[in-house]
């Protein structure tokens, strides 16, 4: 089977394609058909089925005789601990927690907020919710109390499951006080909390409201899996909205199961028993799809890594994990690779480890700049596969489907659309543009299984945010183009396309040129207001460790590179050296906030920012090149 044949099969008969994919799932009541379009443009998949996510991720593997297979490896260089959980042990733990929740009144349809660090219990909490048909909403551990309170008020959970603390390099994050503060701030009050006590910092419990995880599970009767309808929400995952109020992305149960199961073999080229590692966090969509659900649905071993790409203890941490656990398929964000490359530009630490088990490296979460991809290819000696998707889609829109056919890699492209995604490039009027022309990336409806059917209690906002601008299409919010071979290129968020004297330029294209400079480890380009040209590009450059060259010389060379490779039309003349870039905790660069600082506009420190102090560093760097100091 080739990619072209697989994609053509979907295009020819999508109903048959997705019903065949559904054959890999254990159904309590099989669906009569795949797509339900009666409420278009609100589409539903496998709506009349009955199914349970936890059964498909855990119990069925035990029933098939694979209870002794390792399901979860917890590798924590931060706490210097390692543990493994078999599928049989996982089934017992999940059923016990589900029983404890049921005894406290959790039923199908109730919401449960999960606020956990990178420990296996986070996955157990997710699966226990799914076992009961409860709808979980995982909030990134360590989010400020206000952000947690906002999500509590929107999801109105009956319970919160949290850890007493999180452990970061050099510090302890006090989760329980944050939970207490969030509950105090929230208008909605959960009925109870379950607290997983970590030995590094046990928390004091509020009598009658807070309950100890271990005690609750010890006394509980194990709970069986509860059947739910195919369109029943599996979870709510909040993603930041442009208005500042988070959007609750809904994931419907049946489509989620079918799509994620399909991806494991066809995109990531892994089988039951293989070790799959997504170096992300359970609070993000990658953690939902590819730390918790997809690997377990497919019968793989998944890794929960409580560490960092550098500093735990060094830039060889990832290679050590791959060696120790014989990882076959590895998924991380380009920002993690750039951090490693900056600390170890020659890749010297890779030689210290046997990574021969690794078949491919997958990148997603932001644009994978060509220089980073080439560095990884050269040093890891495996295919480096960029792929593109969003919180809203839950799995890849475009990828190189290694399990079907490894297509030629075009560096800078996440390759080609996956079955289910009819990707089009549109101009502002909604008309398709020719190959090679930059435009808005949209997906012709319906979206495939596993993607968002709506937003939690906000259907009007769902329509306004994604479907209204280009009727008949899902608007991705990303800009890019398709080449003559059908390969997709993601160049920027639509908001990051800048207009320089009437020329639409992609900040991503300029960043590619800057990142190729031998002294540049990482960079970001924004558009700043210009009275003559409308906007001009401004670059921020992070240099490799050990670079001793003059900053002035590096900036001059970068300016010349852009002029030579993109042309004078880019009007690229401004750049400054910074030690780090402002990023979200998931690694996305906060370009919009940087642009507001440069333009002197008021801005709100994003709740998702990794370290707010970096914004002051950006402001100070801007002053060195003539921008006035700006306050918040």
Give me the residue label for tokens 């333009």.
Answer: 599
Residue 364: pLDDT above 50? yes
User: pTM for this structure?
Assistant: 0.87
Confidence band of 631 (pLDDT split at 50, 70, 90): very low
Q: Which segments of 309-369 does DSSP mark as H helices, in order?
A: 317-325, 334-343
Give the number of other Cβ atoms within 10 Å of residue 30's Cβ. 16
Give 215-241 pLDDT, tens digit per residue: 999 989 999 999 999 999 999 999 864
Average pLDDT (469-495) is 91
Which of 299-303, 346-350, 532-536 is least confident?
Answer: 532-536
Does the CA dihedral 58-63-65-68 come out positive or negative? positive
Q: How confident is the model at residue 332 (pLDDT cuts 50, 70, 90)?
A: very high
Q: How many CB atoms lie within 10 A of CB 99?
A: 21
Q: Per-residue pLDDT for 243 more than 60? A: no
Which domains, and CATH codes, for the chain? Answer: 501-624 (3.30.300.30)
pLDDT of residue 302: 98
State pLDDT tens for residues 111-139. Answer: 999 999 999 999 999 999 999 999 999 99
Task: List, in order, residues 6 or more apart from 542 with CB less than 8 Å away.
Answer: 342, 520, 521, 522, 523, 577, 578, 579, 580, 581
Backbone angles phi, psi at 392, to 5 degrees: -65, -35
Average pLDDT, stretch 375-382?
Answer: 97
Question: What's the rounded mean pLDDT across residues 183-203?
Answer: 97
pLDDT tens per residue, range 550-605: 999 999 999 999 988 887 778 899 999 999 999 887 778 898 899 999 998 888 88
């Amino acid at each position: 089977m080739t990619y072209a044949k697989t994609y053509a099969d979907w295009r020819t008969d999508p109903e048959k394609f997705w019903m065949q994919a559904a054959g890999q799932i254990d159904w309590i009541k099989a669906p009569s058909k795949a797509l339900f379009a009666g409420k278009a443009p609100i589409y539903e998949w496998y709506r009349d089925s009955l199914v349970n996510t936890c059964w498909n991720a855990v119990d069925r593997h035990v029933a098939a005789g694979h209870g002794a297979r390792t399901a979860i490896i917890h590798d924590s260089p931060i706490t210097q601990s390692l543990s493994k959980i078999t599928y049989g042990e996982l089934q017992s733990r999940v059923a016990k927690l589900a029983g404890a929740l049921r005894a406290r009144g959790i039923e199908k349809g109730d919401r449960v907020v999960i606020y956990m660090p990178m420990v296996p219990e986070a996955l157990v909490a997710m699966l226990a919710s799914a076992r009961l048909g409860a709808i979980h909403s995982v909030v990134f551990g360590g989010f400020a109390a206000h952000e947690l309170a906002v999500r509590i008020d929107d999801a109105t959970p009956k319970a919160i499951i949290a850890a007493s603390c999180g452990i970061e390099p050099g510090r302890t994050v006090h989760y329980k006080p944050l939970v207490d503060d969030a509950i105090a701030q929230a208008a909605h009050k959960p009925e109870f909390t379950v607290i997983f006590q970590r030995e590094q910092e046990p928390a004091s419990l509020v009598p009658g409201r807070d309950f100890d995880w271990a005690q609750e599970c010890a006394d509980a009767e194990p709970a069986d899996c509860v059947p739910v309808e195919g369109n029943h929400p599996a979870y709510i995952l909040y993603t930041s909205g442009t208005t500042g109020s988070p959007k609750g992305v809904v994931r419907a149960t049946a489509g989620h199961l079918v799509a994620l199961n399909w991806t494991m073999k066809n995109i990531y080229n892994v089988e039951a028993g293989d070790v799959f590692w997504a170096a992300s966090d359970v609070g993000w969509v990658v953690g939902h799809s590819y730390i918790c659900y997809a690997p377990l649905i497919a019968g793989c071993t998944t890794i929960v890594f409580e560490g960092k790409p550098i500093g735990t203890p060094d830039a060889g941490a990832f290679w050590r994990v791959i060696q120790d656990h014989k990882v076959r398929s590895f998924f991380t964000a380009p920002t993690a690779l750039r951090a490693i490359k900056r600390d170890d530009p020659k890749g010297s630490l890779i030689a210290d480890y046997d990574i021969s088990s690794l078949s491919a490296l997958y990148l997603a979460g932001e644009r994978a700049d060509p220089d980073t991809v080439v560095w990884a290819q050269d040093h890891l000696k495996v295919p480096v596969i960029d792929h593109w998707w969003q919180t809203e889609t839950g799995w890849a829109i475009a990828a190189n489907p290694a399990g079907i056919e490894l297509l030629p890699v075009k560096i800078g492209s996440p390759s080609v659309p996956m079955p289910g995604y009819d990707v089009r490039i549109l101009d502002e009027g909604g008309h398709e543009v020719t190959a090679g022309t930059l435009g808005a990336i949209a997906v012709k409806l319906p979206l495939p299984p596993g993607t968002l059917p709506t937003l939690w209690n906000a259907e009007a906002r769902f329509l306004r945010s994604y479907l209204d601008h280009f009727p008949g299409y899902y608007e991705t919010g990303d800009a890019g183009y398709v080449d003559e071979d059908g390969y997709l290129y993601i160049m920027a968020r639509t908001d990051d396309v800048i207009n320089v004297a009437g020329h639409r330029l992609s900040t991503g294209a300029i960043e590619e040129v800057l990142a190729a400079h031998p002294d540049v480890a990482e960079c970001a380009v924004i558009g700043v207001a210009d009275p003559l040209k409308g906007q001009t590009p401004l670059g921020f450059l992070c240099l490799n460790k050990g670079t001793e060259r003059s900053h002035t010389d590096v900036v001059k060379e970068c300016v010349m590179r852009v002029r030579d490779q993109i042309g004078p039309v880019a009007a690229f003349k401004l750049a400054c050296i910074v030690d780090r870039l402002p990023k979200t905790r998931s690694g996305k660069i906060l370009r919009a906030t940087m642009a507001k600082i440069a333009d002197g506009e008021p801005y709100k420190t994003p709740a998702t920012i990794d370290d707010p102090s970096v914004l002051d560093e950006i402001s100070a760097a801007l002053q060195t090149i003539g921008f006035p100091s700006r306050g918040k």
